[in-house]
Structure 1
Amino acid sequence: MKKIGILGGTFNPPHIGHLIIANEVKHALGLDEVRLMPTATPPHKASADTVTAVHRLRMVELAVEGIDGLKVSPFELKRGGVSYTYDSMKVLTEQEPMRQFFFIIGADMIDALPTWYRIDDLVKLVQFVGVNRPGYKGLSEYPVELLDTPQVDLSSSVIRQRFKAGKTVQLLVPKTVEAYIRQEGLYEFD
């Protein structure tokens, strides 16, 4: 049975923190692959400052290019609507019954698990894997395997602010992602 990690998010834009988390969890748990899965409409975030799904998907494709074991999944974008993890993982586990899924979340999301849609059903479908994030406890009554990974205190909102202000993003996003953002004029008026 293949072991598949899922790292969801808006990826608006994807940055090195996302890649480090995906890679570290893949190797720590011996996963066959980790799929970065951009959300269509996140249930917990305002989407007013989110660039189009096409741009977010392309940036994730560029970010994982050439990184062994990291893949892109357009699954939630193709489904559209609000991206509830339970709904997505229910369909994925039905479509891929010979896969064991590990859903990767940051400590901020671990703290929020009690508020997740159908969380009691979701924990029966996936194994949650948590990674530390500065400023969060990462504690939950739900089963979460907490991994000690290098912590990068970085967020997509910081990247967007830097683009808007004309500041450097060197080493914070892959060069290919930076070039794409500049070419497409993303985040200039964020």
Structure 2
Amino acid sequence: MRHRSTRLVAGALTLLVAAGAGWWALSATAEVQPGSFESGSTGHPDECAFPDDDLWALFARDEEVVAMLTVRSDSRWPVEVTSLRPEAFRFDRRVVGPEDGFTFHDPSDGPPPEAETAARVVIPPGSEAALWILSPVDDGVPVGPGARVGVSQAPVQVRSLGIARDTAIDFRRSLWISGADGDSAEFRSQVEGLCAR
């Protein structure tokens, strides 16, 4: 009798572990990625005839970095996304779907008021949220000829089916912040050189 109950307990524990592993694996399939739109309201975007595949926009060291891209999840259930650096990466509170025409705050007007953004957003299936990128360089940009820093992802936590994991939203291209001031000859040369490759 004792051996039978031991086998039942062992079998139940095995099923429980397998169910937990399956739940975790299903949760891990929920990924957040760039959506249908990206824009920079300041800086110098790559509008060259033969664009650099990695350059989204170039900013001077003394320019305010403001950019926005939409993010989506292809999951079949709502996914909660939390910025791990909310001072630099914040979500528009309004999540939009096809019925809204995927319309967002116009980045050329600058960032939305802070009250209209949040560190956390829930993205339902088929919808997108705007991710605002605001002065994302922590320690400043090194000064000097050719110095620059690239930003190509936003660190986030994704919660799906009750399980949270840290990950990053990869941008399609990098935002580059130069080590030169906007009114300097060096920065003007960098901007002119965007299309000279």
Is TM > 0.5 for Structure 1 vs Structure 2? Answer: no
TM-score, structure 2 normalization: 0.25
Q: Which has the higher strand share?
A: 2
TM-score, structure 1 normalization: 0.26
